[in-house]
Amino acid sequence: ATPTALMVGTARSAKMGVLIKNGEVLQEVSDLDTVVFDKTGTITVGKPQVTDVIGDTNQVLQVAASLEESSEHPLATAIMKRAEDDGLTVDKVQEFTAIEGKGVRAEYQGQEAFVGSERLSDEVNISQEMKTQAQKLQNAAKTVVYVGLAGEIIGLIAIQDVAKPSSPEAIAELKARGLKTVMLTGDNEAVAKAIADQVGIDQVIAGVLPNEKAQHIKAIQDTGAKVAFVGDGINDAPALSTADVGIAMGSGTDIAIDSGGIVLVQNDLRGVVRALDISKKTFNRIK
Ligand code: ADP
Ligand code: MG
């Protein structure tokens, strides 16, 4: 490999918003056959909004916002914003804990409370009516957050994050290049499938806890596939390092950016297609 050709490729790619950290990446890109994507903030815009509240709207939002005040999760931000828009004030909670990939728990006015996924709702009572509502909302590509208080589900909050308008085109272009596309997410399967269908993703791996993402990449590699992973979050760093090619969204967290061999300056998946095309061209020139 001649350093000059590398420099050229890298300078040109930088102009197109693709930062390639080292020459080894070029070779790895030429061998890829699967591209795995994180969902939130990568395929989707990552700015979820509350669309529905089931139960006593004010009570459900008040409890949820009081618990979420200490969380930095995008779902927490969506709930806080809706509570604020509705003119609700948050109450102080005790013993707040965040459960990674699941939700938050705290003591609300002397009672055990939580806000989070189905996984957190297992130990409490949930009416058939609520279950039916949750399924309906999930089938509509909405993430359902359960609000529990004193051993009962008092309500549901549906939150929707939309696909970036550029995502379907990017996925189609990757498929046209013979690559298999996979979504890897902590979100519920119904929501993940609905978004995957909207953008044309081939396969969905849902309900994955943050610390399991890298293991899933490894399992795909164990089938003999060369894998790229595209992500943006703190949770994505191990998967970015494990993948043959880690592609970080430039809008993502610092730790994700540090873990990627390729960084996309624009928050747009068409950058993945560009990165692959540039890497291949440069690699063929120096080979
Ligand atoms: P993703 O892989 O899509 O970025 P996460 O792993 O961050 O998702 O979260 C997985 C799921 O855990 C969410 O879809 C949600 O149901 C639940 N969850 C996590 N954090 C919170 C929170 N602060 N409030 C409510 N629900 C949460
Ligand atoms: Mg993400």
What are the pLDDT digits (tens) for 120-153? 887 788 899 999 999 999 988 899 999 999 999 9
Structural domain for 193, as ranges: 16-45+163-286
pLDDT at position 286 is: 72
Q: How sure is the predictor about 6, in pLDDT bands with cuts at 50, 70 and 90? A: low
- Does residue 10 lie within any of the structural domains? no
Average pLDDT, integer, range 244-271: 91
Structure tokens at 132: 């039916």
Give the per-residue pLDDT at 287. Answer: 67
- Confirm if 236 and 229 have CB atoms less than 8 A apart: yes
pLDDT of residue 1: 40
Determine which residue's CA is closest to atom 14 belonging to ligand 1: 187
Structural domain ending residue among the three candidates 126, 141, 160: 160
In the prediction, which pLDDT does 173 show? 98
Q: Over the stretch 65-79, which tens digit does the pLDDT of each residue have? A: 999 999 988 999 999
pLDDT at 34 > cutoff 60: yes
Statement to judge: residues 169 and 277 lie in one domain: yes
- Report residue 172 as tokens: 């189609």
Q: What mean pLDDT comes out for the span 5-11?
A: 58
Q: Cα(74) to centroid of ligand 1, in Å? A: 8
Pair 38, 167 in one domain: yes
For residue 120, CA distances in Å to 5, 125, 159, 184, 216 come to 53, 11, 17, 20, 23
From the CA of 69, the nearest ligand is 1
Tens digits of per-residue pLDDT, 209-231? 988 999 999 999 999 999 999 99
Q: Which residues line ligand 1 (CB under 6 A)?
A: 39-40, 68, 71, 73, 75-76, 101-104, 115-117, 143, 145, 185-187, 210, 233, 235
Instruction: Please state the domain count of the chain.
Output: 2
Q: Which residues contact 46 (CB under 8 A, 6 or more apart)?
A: 40, 74, 161, 232
User: Which tens digits make up the pLDDT trace of 142-198?
Assistant: 999 999 999 999 999 999 999 999 999 999 999 999 999 999 999 989 999 999 999
Alpha-carbon dihedral of residues 29, 30, 31, 34, nearest 10 degrees?
50
Separation of alpha carbons 215 and 213, rounded Å: 5
* Alpha carbon of 234 to ligand 2 centroid (Å): 8
User: Does some domain include residue 7?
Assistant: no
115 and 199 co-located in one domain: no
Q: Which ligand is nearest to the CA of 234?
A: 2
What's the 116 CA to ligand 1 centre distance in angstroms? Answer: 7
* Chain mean pLDDT for the chain: 92
Whether 218 maps to a domain, the answer reads yes
Q: Are 242 and 217 in contact (CB under 8 A)?
A: yes
Task: Report the catalytic residues.
Answer: 38
Determine which residue's CA is closest to atom 27 belonging to ligand 1.
103
Does residue 8 belong to any structural domain of this protein? no
Q: Are residues 150 and 192 in the same domain?
A: no
| pLDDT for residue 106 is more than 90 | yes
Confidence of residue 8 (pLDDT cuts 50, 70, 90): low
Where among 160, 186, 220 does a domain terminate?
Answer: 160
For ligand 2, a single-atom ion, the residues with CB < 5 A are 38, 40-41, 232-233
- What mean pLDDT comes out for the span 264-284? 89
Question: Do both 179 and 111 map to the same domain?
Answer: no
pTM over 0.80, yes/no: yes
Domain boundary among 160, 190, 214: 160
What's the CA-to-centroid distance between 82 and ligand 2, angstroms?
21
Phi, psi dihedrals of residue 280, rounded to the nearest 5°: -65, -45
Q: CB 40: neighbour CB atoms within 10 A?
A: 24
- Ligand at minimal distance from the CA of 113 is 1
Pocket-testing residue among 47, 68, 73, ligand 1, by greatest number of atoms within 8 A of Cβ: 73
- Region class of 35: left (phi > 0), else alpha (psi between -120 and 50), else beta: beta
Both 178 and 280 in a single domain? yes
Shared domain check, 67 and 137: yes
CA 227 to CA 246: how far, in whole Å? 9
Asked if the model's pLDDT at residue 7 lies above 60, the reply is no
